[in-house]
């Protein structure tokens, strides 16, 4: 997946979610998130998180400012991921959230839609195996001035 970062971005709010790390490039981590799109739902989507200190090496809850960034290769990467784990529904879009300066927690709890979707997924299919997911997709980040 190729992410195109602009030097200026419009803040789209704050978000709290569970991030399942897939790959990294520099200070950025590409992750998978399950989002509660409807009650009891578990819609998958890609998320990028800034990881300045290398803390996002396991499934964790992150919370931070969100901006939307342009991504290329989303559909191809979804196909690769869906060979490793069960994905019922995926949010196909070329604009994915980037979480900046996230606060990180190992405790997976809360009523946020980005947390509840993961909890719903685990209740249905069990915890995703990180060993099957790591290295399946790659991340490249292009900074645009």
Start-to-end Cα distance in the chain: 20
Q: pLDDT tens digits for 127-142?
A: 999 999 998 999 999 9
User: Is 138 domain-assigned?
Assistant: no
Residue 44 belongs to what H/E stretch? Answer: strand 43-50
> Among 113, 109, 119, which residue's Cα sits nearest to residue 15?
113
Q: pLDDT tens digits for 5-40?
A: 988 888 999 999 999 999 999 999 999 999 999 999
The number of domains in the chain is 1
User: Is 145 domain-assigned?
Assistant: no
Q: What's the domain range around 14? A: 2-130
pTM for the full predicted model: 0.94
Q: pLDDT tens digits for 50-78?
A: 999 999 999 999 999 999 999 999 999 99
Q: Give the strand pairing for 11-25 and 60-72.
A: antiparallel
Query: What mean pLDDT do residues 98-105 have?
Result: 96
User: Is 135 domain-assigned?
Assistant: no
């Amino acid at each position: 997946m190729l992410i195109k970062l602009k030097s200026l971005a419009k803040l789209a709010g704050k978000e709290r979610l569970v991030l399942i790390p897939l790959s990294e490039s520099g200070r950025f981590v590409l992750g998978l998130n399950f989002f509660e799109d409807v009650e009891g739902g578990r819609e998958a989507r890609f998320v990028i998180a800034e990881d300045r200190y290398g803390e996002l090496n396991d499934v964790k809850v992150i919370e931070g400012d969100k901006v939307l960034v342009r991504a290329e290769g989303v559909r191809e990467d979804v196909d690769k991921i869906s060979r490793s784990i069960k994905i019922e529904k995926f949010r196909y879009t070329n604009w994915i959230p980037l979480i900046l300066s996230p606060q990180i927690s190992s405790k997976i709890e809360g009523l946020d839609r980005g947390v509840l979707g993961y909890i719903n997924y685990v209740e249905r299919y069990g915890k995703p195996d990180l060993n099957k997911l790591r290295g399946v997709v790659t991340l490249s980040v292009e900074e645009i001035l």
